[in-house]
Every structure is written in structure tokens, then in C-alpha cells.
Amino acid sequence: MSDTDKKEMTRREVLTTGGAALAGLAAASTVAGQGTQAGEAGQRNAAGRLAGRVAIITGAARGIGRATAVRFAREGADVVLIDIARNIPSAPYPLATPEDLAETERLVRAENRRALAVRADVREMSQMRQATERAIRELGKVDILFANAGIATMNSPLVSITDPQWRDVLEVNLFGVANAMRAVLPHMVERKSGVIVANSSVGGRMGTPGVPNYGAAKWGIIGLVKSVALEVGKSNVRVNAVCPTFIDTELTWQGTSLPGQPRPTRAEIEQVARQFHGLDVGVLPPEDVAAAVLFLVSDEGRFLTGEVIDVAAGSNARWQA
């Protein structure tokens, strides 16, 4: 095997592991959504699977967060949309904007549901408590939390990772999930009713070379979910996670590469995704993650807690049992 062939193989390995690990975050691209006429929406979601419920979604301005917000609204839920809506310097791609958040709010309202847009940083516990208190005050309760906000850095192996790269990813992706849970759990436990879903990743199931901060956070989410599920289960509160693969988001298209090599193209990422998956599909739409989250928070998943669902197009068939 020539040196050129070896370099190409190494590049593909990094793309397959590190690149796949970066899939499935809500700090992602805008998803085109279409509202319905108010009368039609009201007729449909009045009898939806989430009729009468109130949901909080973090990282709601675009990507998986937006797709899930719209899906929840179509199933009858009122939605609290939380997003930082500004850039974090260590993330090497643009995060969502206030305009993105406003568009998600518009899409939820187009489904004839109430929407409450809140600019807040999941890293700040006080802000998450304030957002939860506002949700209860204005919408009456909180039934559902989708702890979805997340970011990633690129080409940041542990030997050379900067302090902000390490700190910001852990604080948003893991501490932020815990903060969101801590904010809503007292209310849910007191009411003896509630369901939480956290967004992990296929990067929480495998090693993630080049982005160890991301991998550590996503593995941590799974441990957190299973621990909290046992802590609050007797209070009739369920806690689960989803692990998405390559998803059509801004973060996924950033890709990852070997130090000193060019960032992969969209075509390369699409090809690697197709090779990585067990099914003959490439990058998945965020609506497919939203569908899995909906199942977990609905009555259809009423006996599922401490569960982790891989929205992974068959790549998960490689995991250990």
C-alpha cells in the first residue's frame, strides 16, 4: 500500500468516526418548515399525541430542535423554545441567530399552538431556572423536556486542545443537559409526572478521535440519563436519550479532518455517511430524530425509561450488545 493510499484510508477512518460523532446536534442548520392554516392545525392537534402538554426544547432555533418543536406542535403541544441565539467563539461555525429563533416560534404558532421564545444559555443554571419558572408562570406547567442544545469543535485532539474548546463543549453538551434537567425536575417530581429526552449522539457509543471533548460529553449524557431515570422513576418521571447519526445540520456539514488537511466536502461527508450506515442512506433529515423523540415523550413510550434509541440507520448494528 502506497503512502498516498495509507493517508486516504486514515482520512476515511477519521471521517467515519469523528465525523459521525459530530452528527445530531441542535446547534445546526435551519430546517424548512411549513405551517398549516390555523383552523386545520387546530382540528388536527386538538387530538394529537401531545394534546394539552407543554414542552421545553433547548437548542430550539434550528436543526433538530426546530424539527422537534414543529412536530410537537403538530401533535398538540405548546412549546417553550430556548436557544442562546449567538455565537460561542470556540465553535468554528455560526450558531443560530435571533432571527432563527423567531422563525421557529413562527412555525410553532402556525400550527395554532402557543410558543414562548427564550434566549438563554444552558451553561448558566440561573438562566435555565428562570426560563422554567417563566414557562410555568405563562403556560401553566412543564410536561416535557428535550435537552438538545450542543456544539462541537473541529480538529481538536486532546494533546493540543485549547482550554475554551474543552470547557465550552463539556459545559454546553453535558453540563447544559444536566442544568436543563435540574431546572425542570423539581416541578416534575412534585407533580409526579414528566418525561425528559436528552440528545446524545452515535459519538456517545464509540471513540471520537479529533473531538474527544465531544465524545466525552456524549458518553456522559448516556450515563446521566440512566442514573437520573433510576432516581426519579418512582415519581413517575421518565428519562431517555436519542443517539443520532449524520443529520442534515450545519454542524454535520462542517465535518472533521486530519490536522493540516482540507475540510471534507459535502459530497465526501455524504459518501462517508452512506458507507457508515447499515442502510443504503446518507445524511438523514432532522425530522427523523424528531419522530424518535416524539415516540419517547408520548404515551406510546410510557414504559420506557433509562433507554437510549439510536437513530443511526443501522450503523448501531456494530455496537457491542
Domain boundaries along the sequence of the chain: 3-318
> What pLDDT was estimated at residue 46?
60
| pLDDT band for position 265 (cuts 50, 70, 90) | confident
What gap in Å lies between CA 42 and CA 111, rounded to an integer?
7
Which pLDDT score, from 0 to 100, does residue 35 have?
37
pLDDT per residue over 308-317, tens digit each? 999 999 999 9
Per-residue pLDDT for 16 more than 50? Answer: no
Percent of the chain with pLDDT over 90: 76
> pLDDT: is 257 or 57 the higher one?
57
Q: Which three cell numbers stand for residue 208?
A: 471520537
Averaged pLDDT for residues 24-41: 37
How far is Cα 50 from Cα 63, in angstroms, rounded to an integer? 21
Q: Which residues contact 126 (CB under 8 A, 6 or more apart)?
A: none
In this prediction the pTM is 0.87
Task: Please report which confidence band the pLDDT of residue 251 belongs to, taking 50, 70 and 90 as the band edges.
Answer: confident
Architecture of domain 3-318: 3-Layer(aba) Sandwich (3.40)
For the question of residue 93 being annotated catalytic, the response is: no
Q: Return mean pLDDT, the chain.
A: 88
Q: What's the pLDDT score for residue 23?
A: 46
How much is the pLDDT for 259?
56
Question: Is residue 11 pLDDT above 50, yes or no?
Answer: no
> Which pLDDT belongs to residue 255?
66
Which of 214, 246, 253, 276 is catalytic? The answer is 214
User: Average pLDDT in the 61-85 region?
Assistant: 98
- Model confidence at 14, in pLDDT bands (50, 70, 90)? very low
Question: What average pLDDT does the segment 130-155 reach?
Answer: 97
- What is the structure's pLDDT at 264? 80
Residue with the bigger pLDDT between 98 and 257: it is 98
134 in Cβ contact with 116 (< 8 Å): yes
Q: Is 192 left (phi over 0), alpha (psi -120 to 50) or beta?
A: left
**pLDDT of 64 above 90:** yes
User: 228 Cβ partners below 8 Å, 6+ apart?
Assistant: 181, 185, 196, 239
Give the per-residue pLDDT at 276: 94
pLDDT of res. 17: 46
Inter-residue contact 264 to 42 (CB < 8 Å):
no
What pLDDT is recorded for position 257? 55
Give yes or no for residue 18 having a pLDDT over 80: no
* Span 284-311, average pLDDT: 97
